């Protein structure tokens, strides 16, 4: 499936707010529209947000009025990057992608404007292809962690829809399925945005991977019944010590898994690890509009004036995590040492 369709006059995004009932693309024809699509969750998932933001930056430079000077160019470029940076504060891949585009610009700094534009687009295409390749490598490294005929519980959506393609947590599940492991999946619905109910089930059905939808508050029941063999989730930001920020509700699932002796894994590329943050206590948590809780789809289920708290993410301490699966290997148990070793391996 094509979550992100990149063209040099527009960026077409599969509208994840409308899945699975409607498969429709939103055409972003400016960097402002691209930023709004990220904020409004037309596209979501840390890796997909990163690639989309990079494409939005290239589109902004493509449409930039002819600058009067280098200072004018820099001012316009900074405005584009800052607009992207303000969209989703928790997803570190967003800032990683913005930095990649800044570094790319520096490499072609002496080139004419037309060549700068083309170089930035080439970086976007490279990021898109790189993300898919890394996801497949994550799947390969996670394959041995999935026993034959096992049932995997997952939370939110960390699949092809959350990335440029293939997925992180669902990438591991896909790798196991296509290796003949005969896996089954329990998908938490993931309130309030219902990414598990709407997106994860839709993806897995398309690949004919057996999936059963459960509500978030059923996870403990199925663990107690011995019907969950392992948990695999994605991540939006990982601190240097292995603490993981992921979709709200992940922390609860991790505690349940620990209590029942069930391995809990996180699948994410190295770009999701923010080594500048010592622990998860430093990860900024996005607070979203209360109407996401007051409504399901277009149907209001609570009083319009009821007070609502709506943190989009929570932080799971590393002590609850069996391992973090990346494109270069698994940090198990996750801590500063095992995570640093992953980065050393990536540089070899």
Give the Cα separation of 119 and 290 in Å (integer).
41
DSSP string, 336-348: HHHHHHHHHHHH-
Does residue 246 have a known ligand-binding role? Answer: yes
Does residue 299 have a known ligand-binding role? Answer: no
Helix (H) or strand (E) holding 247: strand 244-247
Does residue 247 have a known ligand-binding role? Answer: yes
Q: Look at the chain and count its residues.
A: 348
Does residue 45 have a known ligand-binding role? Answer: yes
Does residue 44 have a known ligand-binding role? Answer: yes
Does residue 109 have a known ligand-binding role? Answer: no
What distances in angstroms separate CA 2 from CA 14, 50, 52, 124, 205, one per listed residue?
Answer: 7, 15, 12, 15, 16
Question: Tell me, what DSSP letter sits at residue 167?
Answer: B
Question: Tell me, what DSSP letter sits at residue 233?
Answer: E
Give the Cα separation of 308 and 322 in Å (integer).
33
Helix (H) or strand (E) holding 273: strand 273-274
Does residue 319 have a known ligand-binding role? Answer: no
Give catalytic residues, as residue numbers.
236
Binding-site residue positions for substrate: 44-46, 88, 195, 246-247
Binding-site residue positions: 44-46, 88, 195, 246-247
């Amino acid at each position: 499936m094509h979550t992100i369709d990149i063209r040099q006059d527009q960026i077409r995004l599969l509208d994840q707010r409308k899945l699975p009932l409607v498969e429709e693309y939103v055409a972003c024809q400016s960097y402002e529209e691209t930023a709004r699509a990220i904020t409004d969750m037309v596209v979501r998932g840390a890796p997909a947000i990163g690639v989309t933001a990079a494409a939005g930056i290239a589109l902004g430079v493509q449409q930039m009025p002819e600058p009067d000077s280098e200072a004018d160019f820099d001012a316009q470029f900074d405005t584009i990057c800052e607009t992207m940076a303000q969209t989703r504060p928790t997803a570190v891949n967003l800032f990683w992608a913005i930095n990649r585009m800044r570094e790319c610009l520096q490499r072609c700094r002496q080139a004419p404007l037309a060549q700068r534009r083309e170089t930035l687009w080439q970086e976007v295409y490279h990021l898109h292809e790189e993300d898919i390749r890394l996801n497949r490598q994550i799947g390969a490294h996670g394959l041995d962690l999935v026993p034959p005929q096992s049932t995997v519980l997952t939370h939110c959506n960390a699949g092809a829809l959350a990335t440029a393609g293939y997925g992180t947590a669902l990438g591991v599940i896909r790798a196991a399925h296509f290796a003949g492991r005969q896996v089954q999946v329990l998908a938490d619905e993931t309130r309030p945005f219902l990414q598990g109910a709407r997106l994860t089930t839709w993806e897995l059905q398309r690949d004919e991977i057996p999936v059963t939808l459960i509500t978030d508050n059923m996870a403990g029941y199925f663990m107690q019944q011995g019907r969950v063999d392992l948990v695999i989730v994605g991540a939006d930001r990982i601190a240097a010590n292995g603490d993981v920020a992921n979709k709200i509700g992940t922390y609860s699932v991790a505690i349940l898994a620990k209590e029942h002796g069930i391995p809990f894994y996180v699948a994410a590329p190295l770009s999701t690890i923010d080594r500048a943050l010592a622990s998860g206590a430093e990860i900024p948590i996005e607070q979203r509009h209360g109407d996401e809780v007051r409504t399901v789809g277009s149907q209001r289920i609570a009083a319009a004036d009821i007070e609502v708290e709506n943190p989009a993410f929570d932080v799971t301490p590393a002590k609850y995590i069996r391992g973090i699966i990346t494109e270069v290997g698994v940090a198990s148990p996750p801590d500063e040492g095992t995570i640093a070793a992953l980065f050393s391996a990536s540089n070899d």
